[in-house]
Amino acid sequence: MSSELNIESPARINVADASKHAGELVEIRGWLYNLRKSGKIVFPIIRDGSGLMQCVAVKSNLPEPVFETLKNLTQESSFTIKGTVRAEPRAIGGYELDVADAQLVQRVSEEHPYPITPKDHGIEFLMDHRHLWLRSRRQHAAIRVRHEIVKGIRDYFDSHGFVLVDTPIFTPAACEGSTTLFEVDYFEDEKVYLTQSGQLYNEANAMAFGKVYCFGPTFRAEKSKTRRHLTEFWMVEPEIAFADLEEIKRVAEELILYLISRVLENRKEELKVLERDIAKLEAVHAPFPRMSYDEAVKLLQSRGSEIQWGGDFGNADETLLAQGFESPVIVDRYPAEIKAFYFQPDEQRPELALGVDIIAPDGYGEIVGGGQRIHDLALLEQRLVEHNLPREAFEWYLDIRRFGSVPHGGFGLGVERFVAWVCNLEHVRETIPYPRMLYRTRP
């Protein structure tokens, strides 16, 4: 379906760059987002991955086949289009294309029309069509915010003296001795699991490089079925030699503030598409509210929670705790009993662990968990016994305490929960392209 007009090859542009080409003849390649017809004028909206742009095709100005091609486009049909860019405040994105020529690449057949229509759909249907759902505006916006946050994480650590030292995905033992691991049936003579944290390796790497981080997917075989859980999720974990709990808190706070400023700087359009209340993000500021576990329990009790000292916070408690604060809440010094074996005890009150969690506002829950690690060999050996962990598997980990042991610590930040909070999404499943959940492994 090519035009009879002989239009010279114009510049191929992305819709996102339309403002730089006002008045110019350009070519755009993409897919049909939506089409409105009105007799002798049609308004195809093209989606090229970078944005949306309304095109205007007037029958009297175009060769018959070109107009017919555009008029008969079906949703998500692929095509290329040439025309002149013109500022148009009424149009989405502020620019329109006055069509001169168009060429069909592949027309979506009416026997199998594009399933995701501009009307409402249920979550099951959308998840079954996740590979197509990603073409939608909101999904597009969320994934771009995710990209900004991932890039922001790397930029932050790379510019603060950290070395990226990635940790293995296949690991021979539990990091925390729990039962939430995916077993891999492949390696001979040995059970191997998918990692749930790179932390133990991170500690070794911090002794090699000083300041390190790992960034990759992690896996939890928990039977969790909530809006905050994925079985496969991404986590960034920094670890710092010679750091104490206060430094860990400071770095986590600084990272969070930096990531939010990056998103506000570069992804405001996406936040608008997501209908995120931007003022609430702009209100996040240093210093974050800080409290001890003791104080958090008292605060929760005063707000009506049933929690008793010694118990861990449930989701309701986390939401209640964060209420009334503009910034995430930093809670530290938890009872050692409810924390993992490797936390350094508080010097004054050894029943407390120098662990820290950072709880996001609005019920998004724990976005950071970390703390200061045990650096004393004898104490760590004792903890392994107390937690019934197989010493042999941890010999290499004990080496870190044998060869120039120093105080150190780190934390993990869950990318999807963080993105969900920044985007104000109902569920973390929309923050990752292909979510893996308890009852969802396809597409």
Question: Which residues from 340-399 bind RNA, rule CB under 7 A?
Answer: 357, 365-369
Residue 224 in the binding site for RNA (CB under 7 A): yes
- The yes or no reply on residue 22 touching RNA (CB under 7 A) is no
Q: Nearer to RNA by C-beta: 243 or 340?
A: 340
212 φ, ψ (degrees, to nearest 5) = -135, 165
Cβ 33 to RNA shortest distance, Å: 9
* Dist CA 225 CA 229 (whole Å): 6
Residues 6+ positions from 248 with CB-CB distance below 8 Å? 240, 356, 370, 371, 372, 409, 410, 411
SS3 (DSSP) at 291: strand
User: What residues numbered 135-194 form the site for RNA, per CB under 7 A?
Assistant: 178, 180
CA 272/CA 48 separation, integer angstroms = 20
Reduced to 3 states (helix: H, G, I; strand: E, B; else coil), residue 248 is helix
Part in contact with RNA (CB under 7 A); list of ranges 132-140, 151-159, 229-237, 269-277:
229-237
Q: What number of helices (H) and strands (E) belong to the chain? A: 13, 17
Using the rule CB under 7 A, which residue among 191, 225, 268, 280 binds RNA?
225
Longest alpha-carbon distance in the chain? 87
Provide, rounded to whole angstroms, the least separation between the CB of residue 295 and RNA.
20
Residue 220 touches RNA, criterion: CB under 7 A = yes
Instruction: Verify binding: residue 64, RNA, rule CB under 7 A.
Output: no
- Say whether residue 222 binds RNA (CB under 7 A): yes
What HEC string does 332-392 produce?
Answer: EEEEHHHCCCCECECCCCCCEEEEEEEEECCCCEEEEEEEEECCCHHHHHHHHHHCCCCHH
Kindly identify the residues of this chain, within the stretch 81-100, that bind RNA according to CB under 7 A.
Answer: 88, 90-92, 96
**DSSP string spanning 114-183?**
-S--SS---HHHHHHTHHHHTTSHHHHHHHHHHHHHHHHHHHHHHTTT-EE----SEESS-SSS-S---E
Burial (0-12, 13-18, 19+ Cβ within 10 Å), 347: exposed
Work out which of 66, 296, 299, 428 binds RNA, going by CB under 7 A. 428
Mark 398-427 with x for binding to RNA (rule: CB under 7 A) and - for no binding: --------------xxx-xx--------xx
Assess 227 for contact with RNA (CB under 7 A). Answer: yes
Q: Quick one: which of 110, 185, 188, 392 contacts RNA (CB under 7 A)?
A: 110
Instruction: Say whether residue 248 binds RNA (CB under 7 A).
Output: no
Comparing CB distances to RNA, the nearer of 39 and 404 is 39
Residues 276-335 that bind RNA (CB under 7 A): 312, 314-316, 318
Shortest distance, CB of residue 128 to RNA, whole angstroms?
Answer: 8
CB nearer to RNA: pick between 237 and 270:
237
The site for RNA, by CB under 7 A, has a size of 72
Verify binding: residue 223, RNA, rule CB under 7 A: yes
30 binds RNA (CB under 7 A): no
Helix (H) or strand (E) holding 317: helix 315-322
Q: Is 75 in the site for RNA (CB under 7 A)?
A: yes
DSSP SS3 for 437:
strand
User: Smallest gap, in angstroms, from Cβ of residue 402 to RNA?
Assistant: 26
Element (H, E) at 209: helix 199-209
